[in-house]
Amino acid sequence: MRELFHEQLDGLFDDLATMAGLARHSVGQATTALLEGDVAVAEDVISGDREIDLLREVVEEKAFSLLSLQAPVAGDLRVVVAALRMVAEIERMGDLAVHVAKIARLRVPEIAVPESVRPTLKRMATVATTMTARVQDVIAHRDASAAADLVLIDDEMDQLRRDTFSAMLQEDWPHGIEAAVDLALLGRYYERIADHAVSVANRVVFVVTGEQPVSAR
């Protein structure tokens, strides 16, 4: 019975890793839509978010079933509770990718990101995609060491976010209010994707070690 229970716990993490992979794909595709002004790709991201939502429902149903039928304690309970929290974080990453895609769609046939700040936004997108990919690996392998590395990557995202504000606040900003609002929102979306990635990674550390990372306190 306990062997079956632990197989079910492993299945939860397999589903979470799958969800993280879907979120990574959504972030990458949303960025393609944004930087290329591709409405078809934007629509794919928006409609594809339903797959992430459905998988969240599956994970939650499995987790609540384990809680009610198995009454886990100690380390096993920690795994189930962490899974329930992680699934919400990963779904939110997918939602944020949808927000990026919606801005891309709104500005078609134009490209929402002005040329002068496109390198910064592109780098933010690369960092966000990298972090979601790392999260997928961290979950799949329950790798606490790799999880800790995500905090360092997040530092770059924070600096890039500050760079976008610096660009918008220049007196000679030539792109108008609409572009500034888009840039502020996009910067926030990518930053929050990174924040959720770090949060998920911290929960994996907690599952593996039983201790909260210092950065999460």
Its domain, for residue 107, covers 2-216
Q: CB–CB of 86/53 below 8 Å?
A: no
Longest dimension (CA), the chain: 68
Spacing of C-alpha 133 from chain mean position: 9
Q: CB–CB of 36/111 below 8 Å?
A: yes
**CA separation for the pair 154, 136 (Å, rounded):** 16
**CA separation for the pair 198, 216 (Å, rounded):** 9
Q: What is the pLDDT along the chain (217 residues), one digit of tens a residue?
A: 567 777 888 888 999 999 999 999 999 999 999 999 999 999 999 999 999 999 999 999 998 888 787 766 677 788 888 899 999 999 999 999 999 999 999 999 999 999 999 999 999 999 999 999 999 999 998 888 888 788 888 999 999 999 998 888 888 888 889 999 999 999 999 999 999 999 999 999 888 887 776 554 4
Among candidate residues 97, 122, 105, the one with its CA nearest the CA of residue 192 = 97
Half-sphere exposure of 89 (CA within 13 A, CB side): 26
Q: What does the pLDDT read at residue 215?
A: 52
Q: How many separate domains does the chain show?
A: 1
Q: CB–CB of 135/197 below 8 Å?
A: yes
Q: What does the pLDDT read at residue 1?
A: 53
Q: Using alpha carbons only, what angle is made at residue 113 by residues 109 and 191, rounded to the nearest 5 degrees?
A: 130
**CA separation for the pair 30, 177 (Å, rounded):** 23
What is the CATH classification number for the domain harbouring 158? 1.20.58.220
Q: What does the pLDDT read at residue 217?
A: 40
Per-residue 3-state assignment (H helix, E strand, C coil) for 82-111: HHHHHHHHHHHHHHHHHHHHHHHHHHCCCC
Q: CB–CB of 77/66 below 8 Å?
A: no
Question: In which residue are the tokens 């911290």 written?
Answer: 202
Question: In which residue are the tokens 């397999």 written?
Answer: 14
Among candidate residues 178, 19, 170, the one with its CA nearest the CA of residue 83 = 19
Per-residue 3-state assignment (H helix, E strand, C coil) for 169-200: CCCCCCCHHHHHHHHHHHHHHHHHHHHHHHHH
